[in-house]
Homo-oligomer: A and B are copies of this chain.
Amino acid sequence: MSIVTLLRPRIAQDLPERLARSAAVTVTGHQLRTEDVTGWLAERARSHRFTVRRVPLDRLDHWSFAPGTGDLVHRSGRFFAVRGLSARLGEGPFGNWQQPVIHQPEVGILGILAREFDGVLHFLMQAKMEPGNPNLVQLSPTVQATRSNYQRVHAGSHVTYLEHFTDAPPHLVLADSLQSEHGAWFYRKANRNMLVEAAGTEVPAAPDHCWLTLGQLGELLRLDNVVNMDARTVLGCLPLPATGPGALHSDIGLLSWLTAERARHDADVRLMPLAEVEGWTRDTDGIRRPDGRYFRVTGVAVEAGNREVTGWSQPLIEPCGTGVAAFLFRRLGGVPHLLVHARAEAGFLNRVELAPTVQCAPRDWETVRAADRPPFLQAVLRAVREGGAHYSAVHSEEGGRFLDACVRYLFVMADEDTAPLDAPRGYTWATVGQLNSLAAHGHYLNVQARTLLACVNSGAAHL
C-alpha cells in the first residue's frame, strides 16, 4: 500500500446525512416500534424485581465517615467519595459558600454503539436500573461504566459491549470527547462520551439492550423520564455539520466572548474536609441545610439481579426541588438562535461552560428578592404555567448519584422584549450549528445544555 492511499479525508462527509436519515425514522426501528419501548422498559424492570429503600448514612454497607475529615468514603477507596467543597466564584450576592460535593477523579465511559440496519443507523440502548431514577429503569447508553466498574473493583460481572469502546478502531469512532457532569454537585468530574460504529460486525442485542433509531430516541425524549442523562449527554455531542448558514456572531466572535467570560471569573475552589463544611448538618435524615435549601446527602440500599453486583448500598444526592433548564430562542433570518449563558459552576474544570438561558431550582429562589433572582427566570416560569413552550419534558439527572433529581427541560420562543439581541453581560446568542461544533470538543457545553441539544439533534424539539 503506498503512502498516498494511507491518507483519509479529515472529516467523513456522509455522516451528517446518515444521522439525518436515522432522525427521520420515528415510528418503528429494526427491533421495536417506538410505542412499544416504554412497555419493554417496564417489562425489563419487572423481570429484575429491583427494590430500593432509604438507609441512614451511617448504616451503608462498606461506606463510612473517614476519621479526621469526616468524608463519606467507600472502604475500597474507589468509586466516589462525598467530601467538602469551599467555593469562591465572586459572582453576585452568593459568591462564597461551602457544600458537600461528590469527588470521583476517574474518567468513566458513556458509550453508544451504532450500526446500520437496512441503511439506517440504529443505536444500541440499554434498559438500565439506577437507584435514583424516579421510575428506576430508563434507556441508557450501550455502556455506562466508571473505571472502577470496568476494572471490576467490586468483583462483579463483565461489562457487556465494553470492548467496542476500549478497543475501538479509530475509523469506527464517530464521536469521542471528555464532557463535564453537573458542576454544582461534582468536583471536576468528566466522562468520555463516545459514539462508535460496529461496521460489518453482527452485534446481537442482549436481553436488556435494544436497537433504536435517532428518530425513535427523539420521540422518546418527548416523554418524561425515559431517556437517562448519560444517554442524553452522548446524543448531545453527535458529529453533526459544523458549517451552516450565517449567525448573529461569527464562530470566533462566540469563542472570544466565552474566553472573556472565562478570564473574568476569578475562582478559588478547593476540596475541604466534609466535617468542617459550614451551614450543613448531619443527622438521621442525612447531610442537609437547616433551611431546607439546595439538596441533601442521603443513603439507599439496592437489591437487584442484573447489576454488576447483586446488591449494594450507596449515598445519593437528593435535590430539594424540581429544577428548570430552559433555552430561550429566537429565529433570526430563519436560523434558530439560542440564548446561551456563560455559567460558572464550582465543579467545572474550566470555570465556565455554556449553559441554558435559565438553569436553577425555582424553589431555592422564592425567598430571594426579585432583583437577585436568575435573569429570564420569570419568562420561563410563565411558559411553564401557561404551556407556551416549544418543548417541555421532565428528565431526571444521573440516577447513579442523584435521587429523584427531576428537571423540566424547555425551549421557549422569545422576542426582542423578553430577550433582546443585545444580550446582557454573561449571555449571548448562538446557533444550533455553532453549539454542535463546540460540543465535539468537550468542556464547552454543560450537561443541561447538552440534554437540550440532544432534543434538537434527535428531532424531539423543532425550533
Contact = CB atoms under 8 A, between A and B. Distances in A.
A463 interface: no
A93 interface: no
Given A105-B266, A107-B263, A263-B192, A250 B11 contact: yes
A244 interface: yes
Interface residues of A, number: 60
A425 interface: no
Contact of A171 (B3, B12, B247, B253): B253
Contacts of A335: 7
A420 to B, nearest CB: 12
A333 B4 contact: yes
A239 interface: yes
Identical chains in the assembly: 2
A245 interface: yes
Given A259-B178, A259-B192, A442-B259, A251 B11 contact: yes
A7 B333 contact: yes
Interface in A220-240: 239
Contacts of A106: 266
A6 B8 CA distance: 38
A12 B250 CA distance: 8
A332 interface: yes
12 contacts: A6-B332, A7-B248, A7-B332, A7-B333, A8-B247, A8-B250, A10-B246, A10-B251, A107-B262, A174-B252, A176-B256, A177-B255
Contacts of A42: none
Question: Which 9 pairs between the two chains have the least Cβ-Cβ distance?
Answer: A7-B246, A176-B256, A170-B253, A4-B333, A107-B263, A173-B256, A7-B333, A10-B251, A176-B259
A310 B315 CA distance: 58
Contacts of A443: 350
Contacts of A9: 246, 250
Interface in A1-42: 3-4, 6-12
